[in-house]
Amino acid sequence: MHQRVRRRHYSHHRLSICAAILLAGGSAPALAQDDASQPTTAQAEDRYRSLSEQVATRAGDPAFDYALGIAANDAGRYGEAIIAFQRVLAIEPGNAAARAELARAYALAGDVETAREQFATVVDDPSLPDPVRQRFTGFVRQFDRQIAGGGSDISGFVDARVGYDDNVNAATDLNTITIPLFSFLGPGRLGAGAVAQADEFYELSAGVSGVVAIGRQERVFASVLGNWRDNFDSDTFDQAALTGTVGVAHSFANRDVVSLSGQLQEFWFDERGFRTSYGVIGQYTKALPQGRALTLSAQWNRLAYDTDPLRDADRLAAGIGYVARNYAVNLTGGKEETRDPAGDAQSNGFVSANVGAELPITARVAVVAGAAFDLRRYDQADPLFLTERADERLDLQAGLKIAVLDRLFLQPRASYARNWSNIALYDYERWTVSVGARLEF
């Protein structure tokens, strides 16, 4: 009698742990390793190997099979866990703890339908404590939502800021320059638009994105992003952009995602059309433990310039990225080829790398920082400077994200850009400082 009471108490305790593990992940199937109470991967693997060596002599003992199933679950061996828990239930069909662990194994393995059935059975157990029953009822609702495709969601932001830019036109600080083609005339004086200009500015940005499930594993997504920057005095260099994206994504049972989308962008200078871009983006995201992911992407864009058709080009790029909870790293390379051979001096190959991070320092304050490096090599000699252009650019950014309210943030920020070029006209540096408010919804 004493052993039966102890066993039931243990079962209820394990049910509570099982519920906490799934709740910690935010959605099933969540990885058990994400919960701090779980053993490390090495510990779980050692425990599983120790028990698996005894299967030949102890399989069929419910206590042994239960322990083996838990060890297999913790070690990520969900198939072995399912078999072990099924042996327990074959002898003890009323063992709610084993059925809950079996449901967890199915969820972790990506079989949401079977996990939902097993959890629903556990909920009907009259010996189940009410707090655990309520949690498992919540899991059943989550599974129902996933089976239906996850529903729909809309999110967005509005950002307004004001600041100072010491080089709004990204130009050289030289006043004169010698053009090799006309070197016999000596140095020529640059016009005002070709020399660095400083100015104050304000900037408005807003975006909205939505996703709609069209099946358990398929979703349609779309987004619109707009940006307007107005310089107080230098109207010629005012900028605006509007970008729209629409696509479809497929989620695999192992939580990997593949997506294909189309994108259209309009870019304006001084309220005049400057460039239209449209293209296709394909991306594969490999889910990793602890909220991390690896991404592979490929992109094609057609660039069409309103007043300079010689610059019209096709742009091909491929990239790889790594995303963690507080930072992301990306590496991209590709080719931009002008459509008219007469503009081939603008064709170039490029490689770029960037890293961004958001690091909390208190409950309501985080440091936001980023760095990027871009290298470009052009195909043909510039017709005026008689040399093939070669550029390297470094961008640095740092700031704070201060939570004023739950969804309202104050964001002071500073940035620095340095472009090195073998053609003096394109060699420049640039500083900006700004402060802004961001509302997220």
Q: How confident is the model at residue 128 (pLDDT cuts 50, 70, 90)?
A: low
In the numeric block, which tokens belong to residue 161? 């800021």
Where does the pLDDT of residue 130 fall: very low under 50, low under 70, confident under 90, or very high at 90 and above? low
pLDDT band at 109 (very low <50, low <70, confident <90, very high): confident
CA distances from 304 to 181, 275, 345 (A): 28, 6, 16
Nearest to 122 by CA among 89, 91, 153: 89
pLDDT digits (tens, 9 = 90+) for 111-124: 767 777 776 776 66
Record the tokens describing residue 217, joined without a space.
């594993």
Indicate the CATH number for domain 2-147.
1.25.40.10
Mean pLDDT of the chain: 84
pLDDT digits (tens, 9 = 90+) for 292-304: 899 999 999 999 9
The string over 302-323, giving b where at least 16 C-beta atoms fall within 10 Å of a residue's C-beta and e elsewhere, is ebbbeeeeebbbebebebebbb
Q: Is the pTM of this model over 0.85?
A: no
Residues of CATH 2.40.160.60 domain(s) within the chain? 152-440
Q: What is residue 226's predicted lDDT score, i.e. its pLDDT?
A: 96
CATH code 2.40.160.60 for 152-440: yes
User: Where in the chain is CATH 1.25.40.10?
Assistant: 2-147
Condensed to tens digits (0 to 9), the pLDDT of residues 135-159 reads 566 666 666 666 555 567 788 999 9
C-alpha triplet 251, 35, 70: angle, nearest 5° = 85
pLDDT of 183-194, one tens digit each? Answer: 777 777 877 778
